Amino acid sequence: MYRYDEFDHKLVAERARQFRRQVKRRLSGELTEDQFKPLRLMNGLYMQLHAYMLRVNVPYGSLSSRQLRKFAHIARTYDRDFGHFTTRQNIQYNWIKLEDVPDILEELAEVEVTAIQSSGNCVRNITSDHYAGRARDELADPRVYAELLRQYTILNPEFSYLPRKFKIALTGSPRDRAAVALHDIGLRMHRNEAGETGFEVLVGGGQGRTPFIAHTIREWLAPEHLLSYVESILRVYNMYGRRDNMHKARIKIIVNQMGLDRYRELVEADWEQIRDSVLKVPQAEVDRINAYFEPPEYECLADIPDELNDVRARIPEFDQWMSANVAEHRVPGYSIVNISLKAPGLPPGDMTADTMDAVADLADRYSLDEIRVNHRQNLSFVDVRQLDLFTLWKKLKLLDLATPNIQTVSDIICCPGLDYCNLANSRSIPIAQDLSRHFVDVDHLALVGDFTINISGCMNACGHHHVGNIGILGVNKRGKEYFQLTLGGSSDENASLGDRLGRALPQDEVPAAVETIVDTYLAIRLDGERFLDTYRRAGIAPFREAVYNPVQARAVA
């Protein structure tokens, strides 16, 4: 993992001290709320329905056990004993007092964690593949570039008052686990014709009320030019992004209004001027950072499929967990273990302080002290010896963290919704809870297979409903909560936006409708098809019929 040096420590400490002054100036009335608002947002502090929410960054999803214990401590000391992992490798605390925040930021700084730019109209937390450095299909480790971007964007004097928020994500694998096409800038590592590794640069993706899949602005960019190219994209956005309407202020709108070609022309013209400036990334800095991401000293082990198969044959529950939650590691004898924060009936992504401590202990013992946070609101241990899998499973099970449902119907992304958020117009968490209680039969989950359900409590789409295989969007009709379903969304390397299924449904009809969609898929899928494949082949009609005209649909079948 990256560790702060003297420069990082100093900057973060200075930032915490600065915010202490800003809070003091706010409390004394020297700053108006209007003047204070962007300052607190840039320090992660957001005003929700009932209290301040503090959003803390886990840069590119990489977390040490020591940092997770600090998260537990913050939850216990300053909040109500729990935190909530979001879709952007952040943790949120929902019940924070303004006057405590300077102390919290100082405590976080002790373990090299910040809330800097986790909110506000600036560049947000840099996110990446949670399997980075461990995935078997990885071409190059994106973390060094994520860290370079983290530093470059933190307190960037030119880009701290952008038209709107700005999100950057990277992947070093052809299999996109970081949803890069749904970001303001997405960076995909790949090889050019000469065989050199660089970035495909995507721009203008995003969700919200006007969703867009990002466009490729540059097919291949040499890594040494990453910062200058990002600077040019940001500069053009800062100058030309719309400031007259906050709902039209994201980069996706201006890229689509002026056209990708024109946007590219402006970026390339600016970039020509700065590509060989001091922004060029020195190899010495790449090497310095990369040293922190050297692979740990793995034991010399072999894969043990036979031993594991013996246990799996004896214990079906372990077998189900192995199938759903455990992924391949690039080093023989090791595995990646996904920890589900989606036990039936629990709010997705929530974790109590005690559970955080327990997971930190398990990470020390079974995963070389490291935990990863992913955009589907789950955690991963990325360095587990296969010899330890069975023991780890038993311990996770005791903590209710071994639900075998990763990437299945009950692995639901969900925003905080009207339980916390002042933007929401519906309660999204109860829908997620209903669905997770509805789909508890793990054999059935396995039968249905690869699936995503994403729920947002309003059209701002924090729950990524546009890119769920089933998306569920809360809408308000004449003061009552209804839910609009979309089908066919995906955030992977073949990203797509979902299509509207039909009229919105009242809350109590949602689980049955989802079940009908799942059953329809099971009835018409061909061998080996995931839901998404079936949907892309068969279209929306059979699903629409089944949900809205059940009698006729049955008669035809």
Residue 391 C-beta: closest distance to other proteins, Å: 42
Interface residue with other proteins among 46, 93, 159, 482 (CB under 8 A) is 159
Residue 63 C-beta: closest distance to other proteins, Å: 21
Pairwise CA distance, residues 172 & 60, whole Å: 12
For CA atoms 402, 405, 410, 414, the dihedral sign is positive
Q: 109, 12 in Cβ contact below 8 A?
A: yes
Between 123 and 202, name the residue whose CB sits nearer to other proteins.
Answer: 123
For CA atoms 192, 196, 197, 200, the dihedral sign is negative
Amino acid at 114: T
DSSP state of 201: E
The backbone torsions φ and ψ at residue 344, rounded to the nearest 5 degrees and listed phi first, read: -50, 130
Residue with tokens 């909560």: 481
With binding defined as CB under 8 A, does residue 279 bind other proteins?
yes
With binding defined as CB under 8 A, does residue 274 bind other proteins?
yes
Residue with tokens 């955009």: 375
Interface residue with other proteins among 194, 284, 302, 541 (CB under 8 A) is 284
With binding defined as CB under 8 A, does residue 192 bind other proteins?
no
Size of the site for other proteins (CB under 8 A): 43
With binding defined as CB under 8 A, does residue 333 bind other proteins?
no
Tokens of 191: 């090889």
Between 25 and 395, name the residue whose CB sits nearer to other proteins.
Answer: 25
Q: Quick one: which segment of 284-292, 321-329, 330-338, 346-354 binds other proteins (CB under 8 A)?
A: 284-292
Cα angle at 152 between 146 and 157, to 5 degrees?
Answer: 150
Burial of 423 (0-12, 13-18, 19+ CB in 10 A): middle
With binding defined as CB under 8 A, does residue 441 bind other proteins?
no
With binding defined as CB under 8 A, does residue 210 bind other proteins?
no
**Per-residue mark of binding to other proteins, 526-555 (x: CB under 8 A):** ------------------------------
Between 284 and 541, name the residue whose CB sits nearer to other proteins.
Answer: 284
With binding defined as CB under 8 A, does residue 17 bind other proteins?
yes
Tell which positions 137-156 bind other proteins, by CB under 8 A. 151-152, 154-156
Tokens of 103: 């102390």
With binding defined as CB under 8 A, does residue 5 bind other proteins?
yes
Report the b/e string of 51-62 with b at 16+ CB within 10 A.
bbbbbbbbbbbb
With binding defined as CB under 8 A, does residue 33 bind other proteins?
no
Pairwise CA distance, residues 202 & 221, whole Å: 11
Pairwise CA distance, residues 19 & 40, whole Å: 8
With binding defined as CB under 8 A, does residue 290 bind other proteins?
no
Tell which positions 241-260 bind other proteins, by CB under 8 A. 243
Tell which positions 93-122 bind other proteins, by CB under 8 A. 121
Tokens of 437: 């209680």
Between 239 and 398, name the residue whose CB sits nearer to other proteins.
Answer: 239
With binding defined as CB under 8 A, does residue 235 bind other proteins?
yes
Neighbours of 196 (CB within 10 A): 11
With binding defined as CB under 8 A, does residue 276 bind other proteins?
no
Interface residue with other proteins among 81, 110, 158, 310 (CB under 8 A) is 158
Helix (H, G, I), strand (E, B) or coil at 380: strand
Residue with tokens 């299924």: 501
Tokens of 165: 């928020």
Interface residue with other proteins among 110, 137, 276, 285 (CB under 8 A) is 285
Give the footprint of other proteins on this chain (CB under 8 A): 5, 7-8, 10-11, 14-15, 17-18, 21-22, 31, 35, 38-39, 121, 151-152, 154-162, 227, 235, 238-239, 243, 270, 273-274, 277-279, 281-282, 284-285, 288
